[in-house]
Structure 1
Amino acid sequence: MQLYELILDHGRSVSPFVWRAKMALAHKGFTPETVAIGYGDKAALAFSGQDRVPVLVDGDRVIADSWRIACHLEDRYPDRPSLFGGDGGRALSRVFNHWCDSQFLSSLFMLCCAPTYDLTPEADQPYYRESRFQWTGMTIEQIRDAGNVGKVRASLEPMRLTLKERPFLSGHAPAYADYCAFGGFMWARTSTGPILEPDDIVEHWRQRMLDLFDGFARKAPCAEK
Structure 2
Amino acid sequence: MTIALYDLVGADEARPFSPHCWKIAFALAHKELEFKSMPVRFTEIGKIESGAFKTVPAIRDGERLCVDSFQIALYLEETYPDLPPLFAGEGSKALSRFIEKWAQATLTGYIGPSLVLDVHDALGPADQEYFRGSREKRFGRTLEETARGREERLEGFRASLLPLRLMLSEQQFIGGQRPLFADYIVAGIFQWARVISPFPLLAAEDPVAAWFERCLDLHGGIGRRVPAAC
For the residue of structure 1 that corresponds to 2:34, the secondary structure is coil
Residue type at the aligned position of 2:204: P
1:116-167 Cα offsets, whole Å, 9 max, x none, are: 1010111221110010011101111112214233233223222111112201
Does structure 2 retain, via aligned residues, the 8 Å contact 1:27–1:81?
A: yes
Is 1:198 the counterpart of 2:201? The answer is no
Question: Structure 1 151/192 Cα, relative in aligned 2: closer, same or farther at 3 Å?
Answer: farther
Task: Give the root-mean-square deviation of aligned CA atoms.
Answer: 1.5
Is 1:60 the counterpart of 2:63? The answer is yes
Is 1:23 the counterpart of 2:26? The answer is yes
Does structure 2 retain, via aligned residues, the 8 Å contact 1:45–1:52?
A: no
Does structure 1 retain, via aligned residues, the 8 Å contact 2:7–2:57?
A: yes
Where does structure 1 lack aligned partners over 5 or more consecutive residues?
A: none
Structure 2 CA distance for aligned equivalents of residues 59 and 151 of structure 1: 46
Bigger drift between 145-154 and 164-173 goes to 145-154
Structure 2 CA distance for aligned equivalents of residues 101 and 48 of structure 1: 27
Residue type at the aligned position of 2:179: P
Instruction: Tell me what 1:152 maps to.
Output: 157
Note the 1:37-116 alignment, pairs <5 A: 37-45=40-48, 47=50, 49-116=52-119
Structure 1 CA distance for aligned equivalents of residues 119 and 126 of structure 2: 14
Structure 1 CA distance for aligned equivalents of residues 107 and 68 of structure 2: 18
For the residue of structure 1 that corresponds to 2:224, the secondary structure is coil
1:29-69 Cα offsets, whole Å, 9 max, x none, are: 02311211111112223646431110011111111110001
Instruction: Tell me what 1:7 maps to.
Output: 9
Show structure 1 runs of 4+ deviating over 4 A.
Answer: none
TM-score by length of 2: 0.92
Structure 2 CA distance for aligned equivalents of residues 162 and 48 of structure 1: 42
For the residue of structure 2 that corresponds to 1:35, the secondary structure is strand
Pick aligned residue for 1:216 from 193, 203, 222 = 222
TM-score by length of 1: 0.94
Pick aligned residue for 1:167 from 146, 169, 172 = 172
Q: Identity of counterpart residues, as a percentage? A: 36
Structure 2 CA distance for aligned equivalents of residues 47 and 62 of structure 1: 12
Pick aligned residue for 2:186 from 181, 184, 188 = 181
Where does structure 2 lack aligned partners over 5 or more consecutive residues?
A: none
For the residue of structure 2 that corresponds to 1:2, the secondary structure is strand
Structure 1 CA distance for aligned equivalents of residues 212 and 37 of structure 2: 24
